[in-house]
Amino acid sequence: MSRKRWRSVKEIRIADVARLAGVSTATVSRVLANPDKVRTKTHDVVMEAVRRSGYTPNSVARNLRTRRTMTVLVVVPNLANPVFAQILRGIDDELTQSGYGLVIGNLDNCLEREPRYVDLALSRQADGILLMNGRIPGDGTRHMDEAGLPMVAMCAAISDERIPSVVVQDREASREAVRHLVGLGHRRLGYVAGPTGNVIEGERYAGFRQGVAEAGLGERDFVRWEGRFVFSTGVAAAEAFLRLKDRPTGIFAASDESAIGFLKTVRAAGLRVPEDVSIVGFDGIEFADYIEPTLTTLQQPLHELGRMGARVLLKMIRGEMKPEDWSVRLPLTLLDRDTTGPAPGRAAKPLRRRAV
């Protein structure tokens, strides 16, 4: 590019873009600052003029005027978990549409990592915060909410009336998992748990217990194995299962990873799935459809969950919250695949896919 051409691009102003698009300078400013508040046709015309002219918006100056960073902090318990990876994609897609970026605060399941993100919030390096860890991070003396920034709890609700929540219907879905197994004739069940004290685990186990009670079963009719939402938990649970004389025939794992670990271990021991034991997971991660046999699971709308969480936070930032935005609970879908079948001695039932 010539020196003359370089200068001409640098000298382009917002008025030039407005003339090229055939709109006012105020309209151009509105499209660049709040793209979600203009009509699609207007947005497309202005952005085409921006591309054709080579205009570069001075985002730094604009953000200084509005005192916004155009950044959202997302606190994630463990970035290696494929569930959070899919949710983050949804968050990023929604934020991008409004000109926002994100900073990922990966706790890696370590409390020691919280102080760095508390500092980030208190120094107001973000306009809002999405919490996926089920609690307000702290550093021992200060907590993230002291920053006064808008916050939204995702995946796990937080008991604070100032913080809206966007979650899935964990309890209802877990109850449906029990109904599914009982409907196939399973009367002896197993539950592979998540972390003790975890909000999500509490909801899923409560739903499991409700399903057990609705089926007319009791404490003696199921076995619980403690653990976390990881493959190794499923392996340990399966090893304990194999040592039992009176084994459950229907297993519900509180995560797909633990369900897959359970599946691999019992098959390696010579058991047939689902002929000898049926297994239901929870999450609907992509990998669950590529194992053999394919995993029956409760599929979370992970991408939509991410988008909805970001959407609610943006409403908080703009002061546009409505009563229904404070508690959003999304349904799941039961994917009836190859790891569930009739209990031994029961007739087969057709495969189904249904919303919970």
Question: Smallest Cα–Cα separation from 248: which of 191, 210, 177?
Answer: 191
Give yes or no on whether 69-167+303-330 and 170-301+333-355 have one common fold.
yes
CATH number (3.40.50.2300, 2.40.40.20, 3.30.70.270, 3.90.550.10) of 170-301+333-355 reads 3.40.50.2300
Question: How far, in Å, CA of 144 to CA of 331, rounded?
Answer: 30
**H helix count then E strand count, the chain:** 12, 13
Instruction: Give the DSSP letter string of 16-77.
Output: HHHHHHTS-HHHHHHHHH-GGGS-HHHHHHHHHHHHHHT----HHHHHHHHT---EEEEEES
Per-residue model confidence (pLDDT) at position 5: 38
CATH number (3.90.1570.10, 3.40.50.2300, 3.40.640.10, 3.40.50.720) of 69-167+303-330 reads 3.40.50.2300
Cβ proximity of 192 and 225 under 8 Å:
yes
Q: Give the strand order in the sheet containing 250-253.
A: 222-225, 189-192, 250-253, 278-283, 296-299, 333-335, 353-355
Per-residue model confidence (pLDDT) at position 4: 39
- DSSP state letter for 161: T
Identify any residues that bridge with 250 across adjacent strands, giving them in sequence order. Answer: 189, 278
Neighbours of 294 (CB within 10 A): 13
Question: How far, in Å, CA of 10 to CA of 58, rounded?
Answer: 11
Per-residue model confidence (pLDDT) at position 345: 75
Neighbours of 64 (CB within 10 A): 10
Question: How far, in Å, CA of 41 to CA of 284, rounded?
Answer: 37
- Largest pairwise CA distance in the chain: 85
H/E run at residue 102? strand 101-106
Per-residue model confidence (pLDDT) at position 62: 52
Per-residue model confidence (pLDDT) at position 181: 98
> What single-letter amino acid sits at 25?
T
Question: How far, in Å, CA of 178 to CA of 171, rounded?
Answer: 11
Instruction: Give the DSSP letter string of 121-153.
Output: HHTT-SSEEEE-SSS--B-SS-BGGGG---EEE
Question: How far, in Å, CA of 216 to CA of 210, rounded?
Answer: 10
Cβ proximity of 177 and 298 under 8 Å:
yes
Residues of the chain with pLDDT under 70: 1-11, 35-36, 56-67, 346-356
Domain parsing of the chain, residue ranges = 1-43, 69-167+303-330, 170-301+333-355
Question: Smallest Cα–Cα separation from 281: which of 303, 253, 300?
Answer: 253
